[in-house]
């Protein structure tokens, strides 16, 4: 029996993870579940999965939540705060940690799992984008088993020979005959929108992804192509690749989740219906395979698959992520933080969709980029970038303070 901590259990990835686990209750048991604001969902999770710990990000609503647990006759213990999340990620009783908190908030508990040598199913790409080399060094140092469950990186992982799947092994993919990684992207809901149309889009439109059902932040990132920029950085760190070896292909059907090109001219692709339970089940069971509850793919009904080049002029977030990775040091953390603040402002109606890259670029130009020599340095860069991004938003909003 594997004991699993799900960081971000109440989110889209968290719920999909619990669905897969429930299908295999003879193999996986929930040790701890964390939540931020959705305590109703956390209570339902506790009732269904009976974890040892329920962890709240803040103490807002904690007393009431404890009472509701007692009323339900549950013995689940309630803990509060980042420290408690870190304990749940590093406890000796825990075998697997699913890192599914959105954004920089997931960094510290994810690193706690890495530093304790756990199997980590990484969805929280922002943690890796921020700390890059520090994160991967810690994976190697502590013998953690890092399994990417971002669908694209999971696809790449699946297309690698087993010897190369050992991410702790420093042998380069070139030694395994890999020449390029083809990272697919749906292109989001605005793929064919003109610049003029992009000025008018609403948060509701941005969150309506054509193929995937996801949380609001990643949905906006998909629409702006920042998600692909973050994923490009994620792929470079995970697989030790130069950015030139990763090529983004828009593939609107989201059937091929990414591809690996080999020196002999072969391209291996991983395909499947767009359902995150496939990479989650893969990460939980690897190197075995288990039923994920996903509908089999019917290629006859799909008929055709299409591929396009991304347009970085209409979607500058992809370019900004690439530039940040090329700059190195704390630049990716700055871009990530500014993006989180800008997306939040867009979702709250404070800025337009097209202002998101403007806020990011201003934040990147304003701050000084330093060597990312410690996690503390990165967290400080994140803090300052959030401040710059808020200032940029206030300037755009004509001095009106956006919450
Ligand atoms: N959804 C997908 O299909 C998908 C695919 C690939 C990668 N990912 C990545 O997976 C991560 C999660 O995405 P998602 O779509 O599942 O997001 P989501 O549905 O918005 O869920 C986010 C989770 O993080 C928690 N959370 C939010 N702010 C927090 C804070 N300050 N402290 C602690 N916990 C906090 C939320 O708690 P409450 O709900 O209780 O507020 C929720 O459990 C992201 O990094 C995303 O890029 C997602």
Verify whether ligand 1 is closer than 6 Å to residue 125 (CB atom).
Answer: yes
Verify whether ligand 1 is closer than 6 Å to residue 124 (CB atom).
Answer: yes
**CATH (domain of 79):** 3.40.50.720
124 falls within a domain: yes
Instruction: Compute the distance from residue 42 Cα to the ligand 1 centre, in Å.
Output: 14
How far is Cα 34 from Cα 30, in angstroms, rounded to an integer? 11
366 falls within a domain: no
pLDDT tens track, the chain, 403 positions: 999 999 999 999 999 999 999 999 999 999 999 999 999 999 999 999 999 999 999 999 999 999 999 999 999 999 999 999 999 999 999 999 999 999 999 999 999 999 999 999 999 999 999 999 999 999 999 999 999 999 999 999 999 998 888 766 657 899 999 999 999 999 999 999 999 999 999 999 999 988 888 999 999 999 999 999 999 999 999 999 999 999 999 999 999 999 999 999 999 999 999 999 999 999 999 999 999 999 999 999 999 999 999 999 999 999 999 999 999 999 999 999 999 999 999 999 999 999 999 999 999 999 889 999 999 999 999 999 999 999 999 999 775 544 4
DSSP β-ladder status, 2-7 and 96-99: parallel
Residue 1 has a CB neighbour count (10 Å cut-off) of: 9
What is the domain extent for residue 68? 2-148
The ligand 1 atom at the shortest distance from the C-alpha of residue 126 is: 45
Verify whether ligand 1 is closer than 6 Å to residue 155 (CB atom).
Answer: no
Query: How is 141-193 classified by DSSP, letter by letter?
Result: HHT-EEEE-SHHHHHHHHTS-HHHH-TT----GGGGTEEEEEEEE---TTTT-
**Total residue count of the chain as it appears in this document:** 403
* 3-class secondary-structure state, position 267: strand
The ligand 1 atom at the shortest distance from the C-alpha of residue 216 is: 20
The residue to mutate among 5, 6, 10, 11, having the most atoms of ligand 1 within 8 angstroms of its beta carbon, is: 11
Which of 97, 155, 89 minimizes the C-alpha distance to 121?
97
69 falls within a domain: yes
Verify whether ligand 1 is closer than 6 Å to residue 10 (CB atom).
Answer: yes
Which of 45, 65, 67, 48 minimizes the C-alpha distance to 56?
65
200 falls within a domain: no
Verify whether ligand 1 is closer than 6 Å to residue 11 (CB atom).
Answer: yes
- Longest pairwise C-alpha distance within the chain: 63
- Per residue in 33-56, pLDDT (tens digit) is 999 999 999 999 999 999 999 999
How far is Cα 49 from Cα 343, in angstroms, rounded to an integer? 33
163 falls within a domain: no
131 falls within a domain: yes
292 falls within a domain: no
- Per residue in 120-167, pLDDT (tens digit) is 999 999 999 999 999 999 999 999 999 999 999 999 999 999 888 876
* 3-class secondary-structure state, position 194: coil
380: left (phi over 0), alpha (psi -120 to 50) or beta: alpha
Instruction: Compute the distance from residue 8 Cα to the ligand 1 centre, in Å.
Output: 6
The total number of structural domains in the chain stands at 1
How far is Cα 353 from Cα 201, in angstroms, rounded to an integer? 7
* 3-class secondary-structure state, position 34: strand
How far is Cα 203 from Cα 220, in angstroms, rounded to an integer? 8
DSSP β-ladder status, 256-262 and 178-185: antiparallel
The overall pTM is greater than 0.85: yes
173 falls within a domain: no
Instruction: Compute the distance from residue 237 Cα to the ligand 1 centre, in Å.
Output: 21
Query: How is 82-119 classified by DSSP, letter by letter?
Result: HHHHHHHHH-TT--EEEE---GGGGHHHHHHHHHTT-E
Q: Considering the chain, what is the average pLDDT of its residues?
A: 96
* Residue with CA closest to ligand 1 atom 42: 11
CA 362 to chain centre: 24
Which of 150, 135, 166 minimizes the C-alpha distance to 372?
135
The residue to mutate among 42, 65, 100, having the most atoms of ligand 1 within 8 angstroms of its beta carbon, is: 100
How far is Cα 253 from Cα 235, in angstroms, rounded to an integer? 21
């Amino acid at each position: 029996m594997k004991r699993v901590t799900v960081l971000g259990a109440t989110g889209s990835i968290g719920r999909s993870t619990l669905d897969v686990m429930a299908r295999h209750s003879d193999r996986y048991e929930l040790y701890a579940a964390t939540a931020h604001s959705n305590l109703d969902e956390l209570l339902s999770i506790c009732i269904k999965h009976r974890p040892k710990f329920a962890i709240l990000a803040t103490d807002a609503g904690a007393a009431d939540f404890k009472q509701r647990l007692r009323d339900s006759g549950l013995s689940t213990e309630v803990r509060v705060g980042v420290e408690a999340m870190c304990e749940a990620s590093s406890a000796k009783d825990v075998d697997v940690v699913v890192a599914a908190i959105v954004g920089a908030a997931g960094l510290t508990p994810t690193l706690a799992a890495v530093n304790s040598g756990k199997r980590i199913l990484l969805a929280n790409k922002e943690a890796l984008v921020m700390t890059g080399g520090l994160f991967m060094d810690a994976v190697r140092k502590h013998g953690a088993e890092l399994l990417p469950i971002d669908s694209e990186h999971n696809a790449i992982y699946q297309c690698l020979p087993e010897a190369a799947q050992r991410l702790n092994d420093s042998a380069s993919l070139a030694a395994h005959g890999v020449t390029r990684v083809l990272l697919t992207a749906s292109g989001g809901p605005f793929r064919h929108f003109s610049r003029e149309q992009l000025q008018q889009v609403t948060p509701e439109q941005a969150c309506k992804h054509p193929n995937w059902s996801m949380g609001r932040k990643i949905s906006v990132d998909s629409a702006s192509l920042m998600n692909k920029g973050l994923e490009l950085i994620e792929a470079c760190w995970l697989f030790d690749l130069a950015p030139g070896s990763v090529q983004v292909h828009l593939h609107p059907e989201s059937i091929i989740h990414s591809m690996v090109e080999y020196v002999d001219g072969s391209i291996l692709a991983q395909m499947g219906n767009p359902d995150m339970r496939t990479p989650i089940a893969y990460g939980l069971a690897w190197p075995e395979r288990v039923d994920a509850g996903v509908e089999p793919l019917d290629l006859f009904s799909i008929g055709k698959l299409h591929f396009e080049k991304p347009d970085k002029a209409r979607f500058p977030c992809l370019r900004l992520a690439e530039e940040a990775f090329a700059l190195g040091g704390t630049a990716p953390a700055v871009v990530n933080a500014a993006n989180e603040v800008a997306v939040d402002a867009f979702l709250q109606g404070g800025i337009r969709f097209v202002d998101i890259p403007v806020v990011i670029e201003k934040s990147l130009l304003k701050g000084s980029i330093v060597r990312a020599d410690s996690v503390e340095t990165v967290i400080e860069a994140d803090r300052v970038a959030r401040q710059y991004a808020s200032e940029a938003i206030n300037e755009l909003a004509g001095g009106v303070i956006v919450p």
